[in-house]
């Protein structure tokens, strides 16, 4: 049991969230183990971002619970948040700060001990390919570099869980490839949740895929499992989110 709680980094059970009368997210369960990269798919408006906001403690669920490495998000939000790195859809960048200043600020906000601030900064910049732009203002960087700064702010405090909301949106193919290999690399040490619209990205980067549709989790299977069944992710995705098939019927193991 103890080993299970340690290897399970995110456990969300029965997550619901209503906005007024509309249920944006309903009964979502999610489990993620250390060293796993989860692809989080769904059409626009399916509730992906809402779910991620609940996982990161930015939004209180109407019902259900979130535990991060065994720590309850509602009960001990500070300890739980310290273990998460989150890159929202729009990277939260202060354009008027330099890359170094910004990353140091983020590290301090996440209570990184002052003795290891500098090494953490150097290591993070290296991983994200930012070593040459440390002195530049964030506002003057290109979109690809800004995205990298966004990822850097999510991993500088060495979190157990990294949650990335559409990290490759709007990047050119080369930058996408770089970011994907970075995510792959992150998956070795951290657990990663990756939300995206690019199905091929999920197939190359992720170990497991979950699909959301109309606020419900309609699919959950490993990429290897998909390959064994000889179905492509695209087929599954369009079948689940376009077809008349009612969600829940096709719930895979």
Partner 1 sequence: MIFTIAFKELKALFASSLAWTLLALVQLVLGWVFMGRLDAFLEVQSQLVQIANPPGVTEIIVAPIFAMAAAVLLMATPLLTMRLIAEERRNHTMTLLTSAPISMTDIVLGKFLGLMIFFCGVIFLVMVLSLSLLMGGTLDIGLLLSNAVGLLLICACFAALGLYISSLTAQPAVAAAGTLGILLGLWVMDIAADDGGSIMRTLSLLKHYESFNRGLIDTFDLAYFSLFILTFLVLAIRRLDGERLRG
Minimal distance in Å, beta carbon 81 to partner 1? 4
Pick the piece of the chain touching partner 1 (CB under 8 A) from 7-15, 104-112, 187-195, 237-245. Answer: 104-112
Compare residues 72 and 101 and give the one whose CB is closer to partner 1. Answer: 101
- Taking CA atoms, 162 is separated from 134, 153, 193, 217, 238, in Å, by 22, 10, 6, 20, 27
CA angle 54, 191, 106 (to 5 degrees): 65
Minimal distance in Å, beta carbon 96 to partner 1? 4
Radius of gyration of the chain (CA): 18
Q: How many H helices and E strands in the chain? A: 10, 10
Minimal distance in Å, beta carbon 53 to partner 1? 8
Compare residues 4 and 111 and give the one whose CB is closer to partner 1. Answer: 111
Residues 148-167 binding partner 1 (CB under 8 A) are 153
CA dihedral 96, 98, 103, 105 (to 10 degrees): -60
Kindly state the helix (H) or strand (E) to which residue 57 belongs, with its residue range.
none
Minimal distance in Å, beta carbon 154 to partner 1? 9
- Taking CA atoms, 136 is separated from 86, 145, 167, in Å, by 23, 11, 21
Minimal distance in Å, beta carbon 7 to partner 1? 22
114 contributes a contact to partner 1 by CB under 8 A? no
Compare residues 19 and 251 and give the one whose CB is closer to partner 1. Answer: 19
Minimal distance in Å, beta carbon 45 to partner 1? 15
Site string for partner 1, 44-83 (x = CB under 8 A): ------x--x--xxxxx----------------xxxxxx-
93 contributes a contact to partner 1 by CB under 8 A? yes
- Judged by CB under 8 A, the residue of 31, 72, 101, 203 near partner 1 is 101
- Judged by CB under 8 A, the residue of 35, 43, 70, 88 near partner 1 is 88
- In the chain, what is the straight-line distance between the N-terminal and C-terminal CA atoms, in Å? 22
Phi-psi map region of 230: left, alpha, beta (phi>0 left; psi -120 to 50 alpha)? left
Pair 206, 39: CB distance under 8 Å: yes
Residues 192-251 binding partner 1 (CB under 8 A) are none
> By C-alpha distance, which of 82, 54, 57, 58 is closest to 69?
82
Report the DSSP beta bridge partners of residue 87.
164
- Contacting positions for partner 1 (CB under 8 A): 17, 19, 50, 53, 56-60, 77-82, 84, 86, 88, 90-97, 101, 105-106, 108-111, 153
């Amino acid at each position: 049991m103890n080993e299970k709680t340690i290897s399970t980094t995110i456990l969300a059970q029965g997550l619901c969230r209503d906005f007024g009368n509309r249920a944006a997210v309903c009964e979502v369960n999610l489990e993620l183990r250390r060293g796993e990269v989860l692809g989080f798919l769904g059409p626009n408006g399916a509730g992906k971002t809402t779910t991620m906001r609940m996982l990161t403690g930015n939004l209180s669920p109407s019902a259900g619970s979130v535990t991060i490495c065994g720590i309850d998000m509602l009960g001990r939000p500070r300890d739980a948040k310290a273990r998460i790195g989150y890159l929202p859809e729009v990277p939260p960048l202060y354009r008027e700060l330099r890359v170094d200043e910004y990353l140091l600020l983020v590290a301090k906000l996440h209570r990184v001990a002052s003795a290891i601030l500098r090494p953490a900064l150097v290591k993070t910049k290296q991983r994200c390919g930012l070593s040459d732009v440390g002195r530049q203002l964030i506002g003057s960087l290109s979109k690809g570099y800004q995205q990298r700064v966004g990822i850097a702010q999510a991993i500088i405090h060495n979190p157990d869980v990294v949650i990335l909301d559409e990290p490759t949106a709007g990047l050119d193919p080369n930058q996408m490839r770089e970011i994907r290999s970075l995510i792959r690399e992150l998956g070795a040490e951290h657990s990663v949740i990756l939300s995206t619209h690019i199905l091929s990205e999920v197939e190359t980067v992720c170990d497991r895929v979950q699909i959301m549709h109309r606020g419900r989790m309609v699919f959950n299977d490993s990429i290897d499992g998909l390959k064994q069944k000889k179905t492509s992710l695209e087929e599954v995705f369009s079948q689940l989110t376009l077809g008349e098939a009612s969600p829940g019927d096709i719930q895979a193991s």
